[in-house]
Amino acid sequence: MVVSLNRDGPVAVVLIDNPPVNAASHAVRAGIVAALNEANTDPAIGVIVLACAGRTFVAGADIKEFGKPPVAPILPDVCAALEASIRPVVAAMHGTTLGGGLELALACHARIAARDAQMGLPEVKLGLIPGAGGTQRLPRLAGMETAIEMVSGGGRIDAQAAVACGLIDRIAEGDLLEAARDFARTLIGSPPRRTGEQPVPTFDAVAVDARIAAIDKKARGQIAPGRAARLARRAAEVPLAEGLAEERAAFVELLAGPQSAALRYVFAAERDAARIVGLEGVAPREVTSVGIVGAGLMGAGIAAAVLNAGWPLTVVEHDAAAAEAGGTRIHDLIDKARTSGRISDDAVAARLSRLAVSTDRAALTDCDLVIEAVFDDQDVKTALFADLSRIVRPDAILATNTSYLDPDRLAEAVAHPERFVGLHFFSPAHIMRLVEVVETATTSPGTLATAMAVVKRLGKLGVVTGVCEGFIGNRLYTAYRREADVMLEEGALPHEVDAAMEAFGFPMGPYAVNDMAGLDISWARRKRAAATRDPAEPYVVIADRLCQAGRLGRKAGAGYYRYVEGRREVDPAVAAIVEAASAEKEITRRPVAADEIQRRILTALRTEGEALLGEGVARRASDIDLVLINGYGFPAWRGGPMFVAGRT
Ligand code: 3HC
């Protein structure tokens, strides 16, 4: 039985059991309505508890039913039935109460949650808005400001925050179901407190309107966040029924639209990325302690991510000064989460208590996994891996964070190279979600499975890539830049390319990104490659000319832009360099429109994606889209170049 009714004296427990995440499928919806009817017509019942078996309370509407004709009772009707129940209904929440699951809970008359429960309305991440009353009921319980953040951001809050804002009534001490039954008994005989009948608490309308404008701006073309926020705002202006009707209409419209189709594809793509052909039945090895060599910017970011995930960590630097600087860097990254209110003082202390910083590689002896994050140089890394091979156990996993070196060559320095793998983090590593997991020629299935499991525990998205220069991501990005540079020669200016790509939905255009990262690193790489470059291959000199003019990016006060008091400004000197490059090749410059820029970059990305698939570097087209979305800011609501091309 997907939904059962269990009696405990006057308390009826309606239990949903629909693994894996208790999604509100048709059977669940119908089951809730039937159980409610039964409980409400049984004179022996005085109160009802709505709870779930398994790992979580309802984690949302059943995504697999989207796109099919809705079958009654639809979720809004189930919520209406809960709210109208004659007997009080208490929602007992554990795990992740998300989307339609939270909407069910909001329609109940009281809410209790396990201490470690989390709740949220992530519909915007699927290009949707809450479609079963979330935008109308949440402001009534949690207040307008919290509701707007939750419906538009799609993030989760924990039980403590939920009590503080009024979303739930209490946190269960001990067993949730027992606590829920105790709570429910106190409500027998009292009239149900219907959320929809509560007024929206007063709020600062001017501040809320300003916030909604900011949400629209930040969404960069995605419709759902602003729609969700405005609907929540409507809860304070119109009666419940009217608000619910507007919400439903918006939900249905968005569900049929292209943005939701793209984001639902991304949701499925993320789960597919973890399903790796050849790894069926291969269990990841247990990793109980982690080591990192190198605590520069990248190493410190990885260290913060490892500590956040709860592992004990040993970090090794080459001398005392570097160790001290590295330790401070890690400390500062973790403390920043505290000062921005994301974690408590205790959480900072717990993380730092698991950190040991050493100048002696022998401190890594017992680690199950060691990640190197030292200077990207073949000789340095080769020597390091030879050394690590002597220090760690023969089955400890060794990982390189190299961006551009050939991991197959590095593997030659590793004893037992089947335990060698690439973990290519993106900077800042404690924030960026993407990790390319590089399968070398020698990586064993067990090592690959373990690497993917580690990345998942870090809270990140792992995408498997084969070996090639730049792996999936930097290969794609190089193709992106190549096409953009060609358009500069043809007639576009850097700020026009950036504006076109920002209008497309990227947070920053390629030249603004380059200015931020610094132009010197890729300049050095180009100089190293100059001797072996194919002279027949077209070469755009603009970046070199900027570097030669000392325009090394934001840190130098000038790059593709000039920076005045930190503000990015278009610089006529850049136009002069670009125009000179066109003149040198006798190219007659012409205006390049934004839509042409967008189209050509999309085509370049798709062509490179096809090449990566052809070479076997990428395992599936959707992995390519995930890399661009999570590592390079491609707008998720467009799905990715492979999705746009219908190649999924
Ligand atoms: N419907 C159907 N299947 C779902 C689902 C859902 N809402 N949520 C998760 N699943 C499936 C996954 O596809 C996966 O299936 P698979 O094993 O075949 O790949 C399985 O459940 C387990 O999911 P995860 O691998 O993601 O497991 P995790 O433990 O890592 O995460 C989770 C669990 C936090 C619940 C995560 O799955 C999640 O975020 N799910 C989506 C939640 C969501 O978006 N809810 C809102 C839906 S829209 C909605 O409710 C509309 C309403 O307003 C009307």
Q: What is the pLDDT of residues 158-208, one digit of tens each?
A: 999 999 999 999 999 999 999 999 999 999 999 999 999 999 999 999 999
462 backbone φψ class: left, alpha, beta (φ>0; ψ -120 to 50): beta
Give the C-alpha separation, 560 to 564, whole Å: 13
Taking the centre of ligand 1 as the mean of its atom positions, its distance from the CA of residue 222, in whole angstroms, is: 21
Per-residue pLDDT tens for 507-551? 999 999 999 999 998 898 889 888 888 888 889 999 999 999 999
Given a cut of 80, is residue 44 above it in pLDDT?
Answer: yes
Of ligand 1's atoms, which has the minimum distance to the CA of residue 268? 13
Considering only CA atoms, which of 130, 126, 128 is closest in space to residue 105?
Answer: 130
Taking the centre of ligand 1 as the mean of its atom positions, its distance from the CA of residue 427, in whole angstroms, is: 28
The protein residue whose alpha carbon is closest to atom 34 in ligand 1 is 96
- Among 2, 16, 21, 255, say which to mutate for ligand 1: greatest number of ligand atoms within 8 Å of CB: 21
The secondary structure of 260-272 as a DSSP string is HHHHHHHHHHHHH
Q: Looking at residue 503, what is its pLDDT?
A: 96
Q: Looking at residue 273, what is its pLDDT?
A: 97
Of ligand 1's atoms, which has the minimum distance to the CA of residue 64? 2
Mean pLDDT of the chain: 96
CB crowding 577-588: b at 16 or more within 10 Å, else e: bbbebbeeeeee
The protein residue whose alpha carbon is closest to atom 25 in ligand 1 is 271
**What residues contact 140, with CB distance under 8 A and at least 6 apart?**
195, 196, 198, 199, 200, 201, 235
The CA-CA-CA angle for residues 555, 556, 560, to 5°, reads 95
Of ligand 1's atoms, which has the minimum distance to the CA of residue 61? 50
Taking the centre of ligand 1 as the mean of its atom positions, its distance from the CA of residue 242, in whole angstroms, is: 30
For residue 271, name the pLDDT band (cuts at 50, 70, 90): very high
Q: How many CB atoms lie within 10 A of CB 234?
A: 17
Taking the centre of ligand 1 as the mean of its atom positions, its distance from the CA of residue 407, in whole angstroms, is: 35
The protein residue whose alpha carbon is closest to atom 10 in ligand 1 is 21
Structure-block tokens of residue 154: 């799609």
8 A C-beta contact, residue 82 and residue 45: no
Least confident window among 92-106, 234-248, 376-390, 521-535: 521-535
Of ligand 1's atoms, which has the minimum distance to the CA of residue 132? 54
Q: Looking at residue 537, what is its pLDDT?
A: 85
Q: Looking at residue 251, what is its pLDDT?
A: 98
8 A C-beta contact, residue 449 and residue 279: yes
**What residues contact 160, with CB distance under 8 A and at least 6 apart?**
171
- Average pLDDT of 64-79? 94
Q: Looking at residue 216, what is its pLDDT?
A: 95
Q: Looking at residue 343, what is its pLDDT?
A: 82
Residue with tokens 């979600």: 433
CA 416 to chain centre: 34
Given a cut of 90, is residue 456 above it in pLDDT?
Answer: yes
The protein residue whose alpha carbon is closest to atom 29 in ligand 1 is 21
The protein residue whose alpha carbon is closest to atom 52 in ligand 1 is 100
Taking the centre of ligand 1 as the mean of its atom positions, its distance from the CA of residue 278, in whole angstroms, is: 25
Q: 403 vs 288, which has greater pLDDT?
A: 288
- Among 63, 124, 263, say which to mutate for ligand 1: greatest number of ligand atoms within 8 Å of CB: 63
Q: Looking at residue 530, what is its pLDDT?
A: 86
- Average pLDDT of 379-405? 95
Of ligand 1's atoms, which has the minimum distance to the CA of residue 125? 44
Q: Which of 38, 65, 83, 103 is catalytic?
A: 103
Side chain identity at residue 469, one-letter code:
E
Q: What percent of the chain has pLDDT over 70?
A: 100
Q: What percent of the chain has pLDDT over 90?
A: 93
Taking the centre of ligand 1 as the mean of its atom positions, its distance from the CA of residue 595, in whole angstroms, is: 36
Tell me, yes or no, if 242 is annotated catalytic.
Answer: no
Q: Looking at residue 340, what is its pLDDT?
A: 84
Q: Which of 38, 65, 83, 123 is catalytic?
A: 123
Structure-block tokens of residue 279: 């790894």
Three-state DSSP class for residue 397: strand
The protein residue whose alpha carbon is closest to atom 53 in ligand 1 is 130
For residue 284, name the pLDDT band (cuts at 50, 70, 90): very high
Note the helical H segments in 518-620: 520-529, 542-548, 572-584, 594-614
Domains present along the chain, CATH in parentheses: 3-256 (3.90.226.10), 290-467 (3.40.50.720), 475-616 (1.10.1040.50)
User: Is residue 165 packed enough to be buried (19+ CB in 10 Å), middle (13-18) or exposed (0-12)?
Assistant: middle
For residue 376, name the pLDDT band (cuts at 50, 70, 90): confident
Q: Which residues line ligand 1 (CB under 6 A)?
A: 20-21, 23, 59-64, 75, 96, 98-100, 103, 122-123, 126, 128, 130-132, 134, 271
Given a cut of 80, is residue 601 above it in pLDDT?
Answer: yes
Is the dihedral angle over the CA atoms 491, 494, 498, 499 positive or is it negative? Answer: negative
Per-residue pLDDT tens for 409-429? 999 999 999 999 999 999 999
Three-class SS of 44-84: CCCEEEEEECCCCCCCCECHHHCCCCCCCCCHHHHHHHHHH
Q: Looking at residue 337, what is its pLDDT?
A: 86
8 A C-beta contact, residue 354 and residue 311: yes
Q: Looking at residue 404, what is its pLDDT?
A: 86
For residue 481, name the pLDDT band (cuts at 50, 70, 90): very high
Write down the pTM of the prediction. Answer: 0.93
Given a cut of 80, is residue 647 above it in pLDDT?
Answer: no
Tell me, yes or no, if 439 is annotated catalytic.
Answer: no
